[in-house]
Chain A
Amino acid sequence: MIPFFTSHWSIGKSILTLEDEKEPKSDSPVSIVAIAKKHKLKELVLVDNSFGGFIQAYKNIPKETNFTFGLSVCICSNEEDKSVESFKFESKIILMIKNSKGYKDLINIYTHAATKGFYYIPRISWSFLKENFTENLLMVFPPYDNFIHVNHLENGLCVPDFGEKIKPVFTKMNGGLPFDTLLHSAYSDYCSVNKFDLIDVHQCYYYKKEDFKAFQVFKAINNRGVFSRPNLENFSSDKFSFEEFLLNEQRLTKI
């Protein structure tokens, strides 16, 4: 199982920072860098929806930790369609950098997403991805908000079209949500038919389980909610912590 960290540079999505700190603090936002140092992480995957934190992460993550950056980006059927109707055709993918050339390739893609493709959020189309994807990148379907999730549960009409060149990896997570089993079964069927890898990941938006309340309040404020009425649909799981990842690893080790 691989932890996928998201930092506060994905605005509104996480309360983890990328500050150069030695230890996670109990009285201020926790840094992913501090987590990496404290837990001596050999691998660290950072998935953000912008490049805002990339330089900071690159500078601060210890050299002993193999750092991979992934850009979470919205993908749609037609970038020219800037209407509310186009939302039905949107889902998420992650584009990961394999090497330094991949960084430049991804910058090009993100620049396009944030300019020509932009409609409320940065977007690219499947056809743009096909034309601009390179061997220096890896495409990953995130455990939630991918096209299968959106089509099954959110009335989506997403038709993925990434051609023959791209061999994506699919991911799944036990997020403690009632539709996890349904989604995992659908992912498994899709990957089996298309011979794609399906791997277990753990999305981390906060450090410890006890940080969940702060995280929920943060999300509620961003959603114009209050604690007793956060206005966050299906927001019922406190399993998106690094602590939960460690607990899962221990359970797997015991098994």
Chain B
Amino acid sequence: MSKDLLRFNLDKNKFIVFDFETEGLNLCYSRPWELGFTVIHSPTERENFHFYLKWPNLKVSPEAAAVTGFDYRKIEKYGVEPIVAIEAFDKFLYDKQYKIIAHNGMGYDIYIHNLSRKLLGKESDYSYINRFYDTNALAKGYKLNKDFDYKNQNFVAYQFSLLNFKQKGLKSRLSLVCQDFQIEFDEQNAHAACYDVNKTWEIFIPLINKLSIF
């Protein structure tokens, strides 16, 4: 079974790594204004995508703007219709060839994506969830020494249970996980979607080397 572990088969798989930046933290109403994703077709072939989503009347608090780098002028100048961004993303998300990676994606980004779909008149569709790898969940698994029990557990359940696990002092945000693996992290660039996407991919590799992930 060990030869089937993902760490030995990275080159045989395709991945999409993504991140949203949003108006706020309301899973039902905070619209995403930025989407960054990288499609890894092969070890040597990558495509980077970045969109500013031009929803009407975007509302981002000054505090959130300071953290995320939100600038309405960028949206005005470079923004696209949200349907363009979401359909470009969905093309890969719903393609079963791709494994999907996001940091705290199962706790946040999947709901933001779902919200976007609903606002665009599309149905909820979480059918991709079995191909999802949440690096926040995996980081918690690593720190807690809770490996995936592939014989007795469902991988989606494993990740949700880790996301729901609360312990004082257990910190798994992206910058700290980078620190754990001696990966450079620039706080100035934190919460810019493309930067976070790159860092998420960088921590994914050591995490799948530490855990029994398929």
Q: Which residues of A contact B (CB under 8 A)?
A: 152-155, 176-182, 212-213, 216, 227-230, 232-238
Contact = CB atoms under 8 A, between A and B. Distances in A.
Given A228-B30, A234-B107, 6 more contacts: A176-B124, A178-B114, A179-B160, A228-B23, A233-B107, A236-B115
A181 B27 CA distance: 20
Given A153-B164, A233-B107, A236-B114, A178 B126 contact: yes
B26 A233 contact: no
B179 interface: no
A66 B27 CA distance: 37
Band of interface residues on B:
20 to 34
Contacts of B114: 178, 236
B28 A235 contact: yes
B150 interface: no
A177 B110 CA distance: 10
A236 B26 CA distance: 8
Q: SS class of chain A's interface: helix, strand, loop or mixed? A: loop
A228 B30 CA distance: 7
19 contacts: A152-B154, A152-B157, A152-B160, A155-B165, A178-B110, A178-B111, A178-B126, A179-B156, A182-B154, A182-B157, A227-B29, A228-B30, A228-B61, A229-B25, A229-B26, A230-B27, A233-B107, A236-B115, A238-B28
B42 interface: no
Contact of B161 (A153, A176, A229, A238): A153
Interface in B116-150: 124, 126, 129
A236 B27 contact: yes
A154 B124 CA distance: 23
Contacts of B206: none
The 5 closest A-B pairs by CB, nearest first: A228-B24, A178-B126, A236-B111, A236-B27, A152-B157
